[in-house]
Amino acid sequence: MTEWTALLRGVNVGGVTIRSAELAALFRELDFDGVRTVLASGNVVFASDDGAAEAPVLKSRVERALSDRFGYEAWVVLVTRAELERAVEAFPFDAADESRQPWVIFGSSGEVLDELLASARELDLDDAVDPIARGEGVVYWNPVKGTTVDTPFAKLLAKAQYRPTTTNRNLRTLVKVLG
């Protein structure tokens, strides 16, 4: 049995509202075990007999069910518990710094994350303003609180080309997901 976390993109923002109870019910209807939602931002923890090698099939199944049930173009990132633990443990910045927002950015593929970083390098980012780093399957970002929509990297991340292929979570949220 593999424990997964589904990170849903664009849920409870921009007009797509899904109650946690409805989300959990859908995952239970898909015959997943140990289903629980974490916060109201599209985080679903569940277990499945499908192994990690079946991640693309599982992802497609979840996305199709979400689209059918809730009437939106669903896109999710699936990560195993081990992958999520590694991402949290490897956060390269001071996670205890209360003046910063510790973000972890997930992408549809390593190529998308590499492209994001290549575009960021072209911006010649200021590390004091927009510290970023590549991790295993993620990009880390640690901006000053209150600047997460105004910095050059924030504006890059908000571009239309990255919206359908990336999703981000605050490190503190991921710690709660791991419970």
Given 27, 57, 82, which residue is the final one in a domain? Answer: 82
- Same domain (yes/no): 113, 70: no
- Same domain (yes/no): 76, 100: no
What sections of the chain are H helices per DSSP? 20-29, 55-70, 81-89, 110-122, 152-157, 171-178
Binning pLDDT at 50, 70 and 90, where does residue 53 land? low
Look up residue 100 and give its DSSP letter: B
The pLDDT of 125-141, averaged and rounded, is: 94
64: containing domain:
2-82
Q: What is the pLDDT of residue 108?
A: 84
Report whether 107 contacts 114 (CB < 8 A): no
Q: What is the pLDDT of residue 164?
A: 81
- Same domain (yes/no): 67, 94: no
If one counts the domains in the chain, the total is 2
- Same domain (yes/no): 111, 58: no
- Same domain (yes/no): 72, 124: no
Given 59, 82, 105, which residue is the final one in a domain? Answer: 82
pLDDT (tens digit per residue) in 9-47: 877 666 677 899 999 999 999 999 999 999 877 899 999
- Same domain (yes/no): 101, 56: no
**Is pLDDT of 51 > 70?**
no
- Same domain (yes/no): 95, 169: yes
